[in-house]
């Protein structure tokens, strides 16, 4: 069995899956429910055996009826016994069919559940480098539609494949009982039918993969447009975006039509018709030779009718299997994509003091194109550090290296003199709170959003955190107070309200390191002043990193880092940097007043 690739998060698993190929992966899920597969097989074989026995029963009854025809009461008795026998066989056969269908559907639902669990956990465990490189719409297409296709692959897809396989087997078992020569037509049909299906699957698999990929791209495009719908409407670009979406829809349609054209080559039905014709002629020839009775001819032709089910369902069933395998391949593309981070379960778990040191750190989202170059600085526990620099200088990237959102390419980031890669990832991140510019609120109540990092928090703790973030009075003014539902991404709140709720969420977890990435940018001056005092109070005794362009926030920092184009060009105190660093001076003092300020 293959081992999973390194992940940031690995949930407890009771079994491992084999991800070397789609078939191996699906089988490693299905074999956990071997008893359901066995019941499905028993149901399919029992159903086919019952149907295979029915033509023989009809043929025997036909011969007996013809022999007893001069005696009307005896002939009617034979017909009555034959009818009762048919009713009994059909009843038993229906039980086997129900067993097959129920076990197949249960198997499909359980595998869909297991695959969803594995895929969702894998998505949570992937690093930010992975999530930065993939489209949300594409991920959602795989997490919803592709996983659903795997369900349909097992039921009705695999259920029909197993059922049709049993129907192919029944004539091979029963035909020889009439006459050994009558095995010729069933054997030829099964051989040619298998070759046709192999060719059909080989043609369908790449087309099915193309269909699933086109659907993913269509979903990705639609998700992107809806996510930016406000921008589209403000710029009146609805027509242009609709035309772009039409291109994706046409591509998806064309691939579906190409796939349908392959399915439309209905060779199995032709083979079935040919088998019926040749088999009937063969049976009649043997009847004329005296090797068969008329009832045997009737029974044998009825037996060949069993090939009708595989011939008709093959178009749908094997096409569904091809779609399921294509979907499994797409899911494995993400599952097998290795992460640059791992959870480091056996790593250091101690109580954090908050000392941070960057030792000649170089990092790039693409290792060949660094965005941070040879960064070195040291911060003592409890220090307040401001990080400044022009847009694109690497400020946000730098602070994301502390909680291991990303891993360095060269050098080391150390917390309490321990490389962050040697920390247990949960222990490291649970003691660091980070508020970014693009903050996120969940579609939950305000109280649940504040307590997201500490679900077991008491209501009094939530209120205390809200008061520190200067949002308590605003929350109380809402009709439902702390039970007010926040819309998706918090869009029902103002920017300032969202930022203050995010601040309350950070305050509640009592972090040892607090990172604020322009966290007060959407707050008015009066509220900002109050929050500044709250942050100053909360920051006591804990290391705080602040990314900001506001001089009022920089002044109270103990240490300032100046970044430019990914380089740490200066560090020190505010007054010292104003005198010694022209780049820092230009950030805050207009050129005409620089001499006056110095």
Mean pLDDT of 432-446: 82
The string over 504-543, giving b where at least 16 C-beta atoms fall within 10 Å of a residue's C-beta and e elsewhere, is bbbbbbebbbbbbbbbbebbeeebbeebbebbeebbeebb
354-431+511-598 carries CATH number 3.40.50.300: yes
- pLDDT at position 67 is 84
Query: Residue 597 pLDDT more than 50?
Result: no
Q: Would you state the structure tokens that stand for residue 585, as one six-digit string?
A: 């001076």
User: Among 23, 18, 13, which Cα is nearest to 3's?
Assistant: 18
Number of continuous H segments (helices) and E segments (strands) in the chain? 24, 10
pLDDT at residue 454 in the model: 87
Read off the pLDDT of each residue in 45-69 and give the average, rounded to a whole number: 88
Q: How far is CA 478 from CA 216, 451, 482, 492, 527, in A?
A: 40, 18, 8, 12, 18
How confident is the model over 476-491, as a mean pLDDT? 81
Condensed to tens digits (0 to 9), the pLDDT of residues 194-214 reads 998 888 888 888 888 888 888
At 236 the pLDDT is: 84
The whole-chain average pLDDT of the chain stands at 86
Residues across the chain: 598
Q: Report residue 190's pLDDT band, with 50, 70 and 90 as the boundaries.
A: very high
CB atoms within 10 A of CB 229: 12
* Beta strand residue intervals within 114-242, DSSP E: none
Confidence band for 3, pLDDT divided at 50, 70 and 90: very low
CA atoms of 518 and 396, how far apart (whole Å): 9
For residue 106, pLDDT beyond 90:
yes
Least-confidence region, from 76-80, 129-133, 157-161: 129-133
**Domain ranges for the chain:** 106-335, 354-431+511-598, 437-509
Tokens representing 288 are: 């004329």
> Tell me, what's the pLDDT at 126?
81
pLDDT at 434: 86
**Closest Cα to residue 114, out of 34, 21, 36, 17?**
17
pLDDT at 274 over 80: yes
CATH class of the domain comprising 437-509: alpha beta
Is 192 within 8 Å of 363 (Cβ atoms)? Answer: no
What pLDDT was estimated at residue 490?
A: 63
Same fold flag, 106-335 and 437-509? no
Percent residues over pLDDT 70 in the chain? 90
The residue with tokens 């040892």 is: 512
pLDDT tens per residue across span 328-378:
999 999 888 876 667 777 889 999 999 999 999 999 988 788 999 999 999
> Which architecture, in CATH terms, is 106-335?
Up-down Bundle (1.20)
**Residue 244 pLDDT > 90, yes or no?**
no
Q: In this predicted model, what pLDDT tens digit does every residue of 297-318 receive, in sequence order?
A: 999 999 999 999 998 888 788 8
List Cα–Cα distances, 443 to 139, 466, 474, 484, in angstroms: 20, 18, 19, 10
Q: Residues 176, 299: contact at Cβ < 8 Å? A: no
Strand partners, 410: 362
């Amino acid at each position: 069995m293959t081992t999973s690739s390194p992940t940031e998060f690995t949930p407890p698993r009771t079994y491992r899956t084999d991800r070397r190929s789609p078939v191996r992966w699906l089988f490693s899920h299905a074999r956990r429910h071997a008893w359901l597969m066995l019941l499905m097989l028993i149901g399919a074989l029992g159903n086919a055996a019952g149907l295979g026995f029915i033509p023989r029963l009809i043929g025997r009854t036909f011969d007996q009826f013809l022999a007893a025809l001069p005696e009307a009461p005896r002939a009617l008795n034979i017909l009555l016994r034959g009818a009762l026998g048919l009713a009994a066989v059909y009843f038993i056969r229906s039980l086997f069919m129900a067993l097959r269908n129920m076990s197949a559907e249960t198997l499909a639902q359980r595998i869909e559940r297991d695959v969803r669990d594995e895929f969702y956990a894998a998505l949570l465990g992937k690093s930010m480098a992975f999530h930065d490189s993939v489209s949300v719409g594409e991920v959602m297409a795989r997490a919803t539609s592709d996983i659903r296709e795997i369900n349909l692959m097992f039921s009705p897809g695999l259920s029909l494949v197993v059922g049709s396989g049993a129907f192919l087997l029944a004539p091979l078992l029963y035909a020889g009982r009439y006459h050994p020569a009558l095995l010729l037509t069933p054997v030829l049909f099964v051989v040619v039918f298998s070759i046709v299906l192999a060719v059909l699957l080989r043609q369908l698999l790449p087309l099915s993969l193309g269909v699933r990929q086109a659907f993913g791209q269509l979903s990705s495009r639609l998700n992107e447009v809806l996510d930016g719908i406000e921008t589209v409407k403000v710029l009146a670009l609805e027509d242009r975006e609709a035309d772009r979406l039409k291109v994706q829809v046409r591509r998806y349609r064309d691939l579906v039509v190409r796939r349908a054209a392959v399915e439309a080559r209905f060779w199995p039905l032709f083979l079935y018709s040919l088998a019926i014709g040749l088999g009937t002629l063969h049976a009649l020839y043997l009847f004329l030779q005296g090797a068969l009775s008329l009832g045997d001819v009737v029974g044998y032709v009825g037996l060949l009718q069993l090939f009708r089910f595989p011939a008709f369902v093959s178009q749908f069933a094997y096409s569904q299997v091809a779609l399921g395998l294509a979907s499994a391949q797409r899911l494995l593309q993400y599952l097998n994509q290795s992460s640059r981070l791992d959870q480091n379960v056996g790593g250091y778990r101690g109580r954090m003091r908050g000392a941070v040191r960057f030792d000649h750190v170089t990092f790039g989202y693409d290792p060949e194109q660094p965005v941070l170059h040879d960064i070195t600085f040291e911060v003592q526990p409890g220090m307040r550090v401001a990080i400044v620099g022009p847009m694109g200088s690497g400020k946000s990237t730098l602070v994301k290296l502390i909680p291991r959102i990303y891993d360095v390419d060269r050098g080391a980031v150390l917390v309490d003199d321990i490389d962050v890669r040697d920390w247990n990832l949960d222990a490291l991140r649970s003691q660091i709170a980070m508020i970014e510019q693009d903050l996120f609120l969940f579609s939950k109540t305000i109280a649940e959003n504040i307590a997201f990092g500490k679900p077991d928090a008491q209501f009094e703790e939530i209120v205390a955190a809200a008061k520190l973030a200067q949002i308590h009075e605003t929350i109380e003014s809402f009709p439902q107070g702390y039970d007010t539902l926040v819309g998706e991404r918090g869009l029902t709140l103002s920017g300032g309200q969202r930022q203050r709720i995010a601040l309350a969420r950070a305050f509640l977890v009592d972090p040892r390191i607090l990172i604020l990435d322009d966290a007060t940018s959407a707050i008015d001056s009066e509220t900002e002043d109050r929050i500044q005092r709250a942050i100053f109070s909360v920051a006591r005794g804990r290391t705080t990193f602040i990314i900001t362009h506001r001089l009022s926030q920089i002044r109270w920092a103990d240490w300032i880092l100046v970044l430019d184009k990914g380089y740490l060009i200066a560090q020190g105190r505010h007054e010292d940097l104003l005198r010694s660093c022209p780049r820092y001076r230009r950030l805050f003092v207009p050129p005409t007043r620089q001499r006056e300020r110095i």
